[in-house]
Structure 1
Amino acid sequence: MQWQWLQPGISCTVRTYAKINLTLDVLGRRSDGYHALATVMQTVDLYDTLSFTLRDDEQVRLVCTQPELSTETNLALRAAMVLREYTGQRYGALIELQKRIPSAAGLGGGSSDAAAALLALTRLWRLSLTSEELLRLAASLGSDVPFFLYGGLALCEGRGELVTPLPSCWPAEWRWLVLLKPAISVSTASVFGALTARDYSDGSHTWAVCAALREGRLPDLAHLYNGLERGVVERYAAVAAARAALLEAGAAFVRLSGSGPTLFTALAHLEEAQRLWLRLQEQGYEVYLTQAIYPSVESLTLLSLPAR
C-alpha cells in the first residue's frame, strides 16, 4: 500500500439502511452466553448517511449530527478502529454521520453504520480483504452487522452472523411499510436477559416464512413471529400503547422489529399507508413511511478516487 494512492481529501459517501425482522425465533441460550437465533431480515428505505474523508494524519474521528453519538462507543468508529487494528495500517479518516435512523430502536441503525464503515474504508484505504475476513470483523462488532454487508432480504442464523441471502421477492401486498417508534429506548441486552423458556421456539416460524418467500407466496401472518415481542409489550407500557394505536388506526397486523421498541405493519397501497401514517403522526407518534429496498455494495459513491 502506498501513500500516493491515498491523497488527503479523497472521500466517499454511502447510505446505510435500516432493517426490520419479519421473524425472530429464539432457539435457546448458547454456551457462549449468546442466544441462538433464526430470523428473516429485510432492509428498508430509511437511512443514515455516512461520509468518509481521508486525513493527512493517523487520526480517525467521527462527527455526528446527534452530538451524543459522537463518542468512542459509536459502532461506525469502532468498525474503523477494528479494521485498522486488523490490517495494521495507520491511515486517518474523518467520518461524518448524518443520523436519521432512530437509535436503540430495533432497526439496526448502528449495525448498518458499522457495516458501511467496514466496506467504505476497505475501499478508501485500498485494503485487500476477503469476504470471509470482512464477515469475521463484522461479527466481532455485533450480531446484526454481518447482515448489513449483504442487505436486502436474508435468513440469519447462529447469533445472527450466519447470513443466507434470499431471493428479492418482497410481497406486493406488503409494498408499503409503516414504522412506529415509541418515545422510549430499549436495551437489547436487557430484553434478551429477561427471556424465559416459554419465549423459545423451534425455528418453524422462520422456516415457514423462508419457504413462502422462496415460492412467491405471501407468508401466513401467524408465522410473522418475534420471540422477544411478548416480553417487550408486557414490560414497556409505551410499546403496548403504540401497538394498540396502530391497530386502532387501521393496521391489519402489528409486529415488533428486533428487540424493539419499533413496531411495523405493511400495506399494499400507498394511499392506505399514507392515511395510516398521517393518523399516527397526528397523535404525536414518531412514524416513518418506507418500503423494502435491495441496496448493493456498489451503492458506495467514491468521489475523485485516483486509479492505482
Structure 2
Amino acid sequence: MTPSAALARPLQALYDVPAPAKLNLFLHITGRRPDGYHLLQSVFMLIDWCDTLHFELRTDGIISRTDLHDAQAPGVETLPAEDLCMRAARALQAACSTSLGVHISLEKRIPSQAGMGGGSSDAASCLLALQRLWGVRLPAEKLKTLALSLGADVPFFLSGGHAWVEGIGEHITPITLPEASFVVVKPGAGVATQNIFSASDLKRNTVNATMLDFAAHANGQIFEFGHNDLQPVAQRICPQIDQSLEWLESQQLKGRMTGSGSAVFAQILHDQALSSAPGEWKIKKCRNLEIHPLADW
C-alpha cells in the first residue's frame, strides 16, 4: 500500500473538530544551530481552551476557508488568507496526491500572538481531520516531517498529550502531569515571535536540564520549574506583559509568560475567585487535559 492509499470511502463532512491550546511550563533556550534555528527545552501542556474547526468535502480539488465570527465584533482577529490551516491542507493534499478538496470553517477562540500555539494546533487538527475526510493516511514519520515543515510547534499537537520538548521542537517525549487549573491572561497587545528570537539580548545559553530535574519538582512544585528565557525580551517589547503579571500578583498568584507571549498564566484553585481586569484583556480559567481530544485519530 502506498503512503497515499485510500483507507476508506471519503466522508462528506467532519464537524466540531477541536484544536486545544498549550502552555509552556518553562522554556529554556540552550543554543542556536548554524542555520539560525534556536534549540530549546520545554514542557508543553495541553489546556482546554480550544479553537473549533469544521470540514466539508469538495470534489473539485479546491481548498477554501471561512472564519466563523463577526469581523466587526470588538477584539475579534481576522485571519490571513494563507494561515497555517490552509498551508497544512495544501501540504497534505500534495503529499497524498489526492484530487479532493475541502472547505474549512474555523471558529477562532485562542488568541494570536499569545504564545499558546493556536495556529499550530489548528494546523495539526487539520492534518488529522483531512486524513479522515479524504480517506488517506501518511506514515507517522512522514506526517511528522510534514508537520515540522509548517512550524516547530505543529508536531507536538500530533503527539497526543503533554510532552517534554527539545531540539527545535521535533524531539518529543510524552510525560504525565497532575490535574490542575490555571488562569490565562492575554493582554490586548501581542508579540511577534520573530521579534523575540531576533533580539540581541535574548539569552541563548541556558544549561540543559533533564526530565529527572523536572520530575524532582513533582511534589507540588512542578509548575514552578525553570523559567522562560523569552520573557525578559518580550517584557521589554510589550509593557502590557508586566501589567498582566502585576495583575496576577494582585490576586496573590505567581505568574509567568507562555511561549513568546504575550499571554501569561498562573496555577489556581479550580473555584478561585478573581477580581476584574482591563476590558481589552482576555482572561480564562482553564484546566489541563489528560490527553489530546484527537489522540486516537
TM-score normalised by the chain length of structure 2: 0.88
Alpha-carbon separation, structure 2, partners of 1:96 and 1:6: 18
Deviation at 1:223, TM superposition (A): 2.5
Aligned to 1:39: 42
Aligned to 1:228: 230
Q: Which residue type is aligned with residue 133 of structure 1?
A: K
Aligned to 1:305: none
Alpha-carbon separation, structure 1, partners of 2:48 and 2:222: 24
Residues 2, 178 of structure 1: alpha-carbon distance in 2 compared, 3 angstrom cutoff: closer
Residues 254, 57 of structure 1: alpha-carbon distance in 2 compared, 3 angstrom cutoff: same
Contact 1:249 1:280 in 2 (8 A): no
Aligned to 1:181: 186
Aligned to 2:284: 288
Aligned residues: 286
Q: Which residue type is aligned with residue 256 of structure 2?
A: R
Alpha-carbon separation, structure 2, partners of 1:71 and 1:198: 31
Alpha-carbon separation, structure 2, partners of 1:38 and 1:129: 28
Contact 1:182 1:285 in 2 (8 A): yes
Q: Which residue type is aligned with residue 212 of structure 1?
A: A
Which structure is higher in helix share?
1
SS in 2 for 1:157: strand
Alpha-carbon separation, structure 1, partners of 2:55 and 2:98: 16
Gaps of 5+ in 1: 301-308
Contact 1:42 1:151 in 2 (8 A): no
Q: Which residue type is aligned with residue 246 of structure 2?
A: A
Contact 1:27 1:37 in 2 (8 A): yes
Deviation at 1:104, TM superposition (A): 1.5
For residues 1-308 of structure 1, the aligned pairs below 5 Å read 5-6=9-10, 9-66=12-69, 69-167=78-176, 169-170=177-178, 172=179, 175-196=180-201, 198-204=203-209, 208-209=213-214, 211-212=215-216, 216-219=218-221, 223-251=225-253, 253-267=254-268, 269-272=269-272, 275-276=273-274, 279-281=275-277, 285-293=281-289, 294-297=291-294
Contact 1:245 1:280 in 2 (8 A): no
Contact 1:43 1:151 in 2 (8 A): no
1:191-238 alpha-carbon deviations (Å, 9 max, x no partner): 1111536453012277622x237xx53336662311101111122211
Deviation at 1:38, TM superposition (A): 0.8
Q: CA RMSD in A?
A: 2.4
Alpha-carbon separation, structure 1, partners of 2:52 and 2:219: 34
Residues 79, 200 of structure 1: alpha-carbon distance in 2 compared, 3 angstrom cutoff: same
Gaps of 5+ in 2: 72-76
Contact 2:161 2:295 in 1 (8 A): no
SS in 1 for 2:216: helix
Aligned to 1:303: none
Alpha-carbon separation, structure 2, partners of 1:148 and 1:69: 23
Residues 30, 105 of structure 1: alpha-carbon distance in 2 compared, 3 angstrom cutoff: same
Alpha-carbon separation, structure 1, partners of 2:43 and 2:134: 33
SS in 2 for 1:247: helix
Contact 2:160 2:295 in 1 (8 A): no
Aligned to 1:304: none
Alpha-carbon separation, structure 2, partners of 1:149 and 1:39: 17
Alpha-carbon separation, structure 1, partners of 2:8 and 2:140: 26
Percentage identity across paired residues of the two chains: 33
The runs of at least 4 aligned residues of structure 1 exceeding 6 Å deviation read: none
Contact 1:212 1:218 in 2 (8 A): no
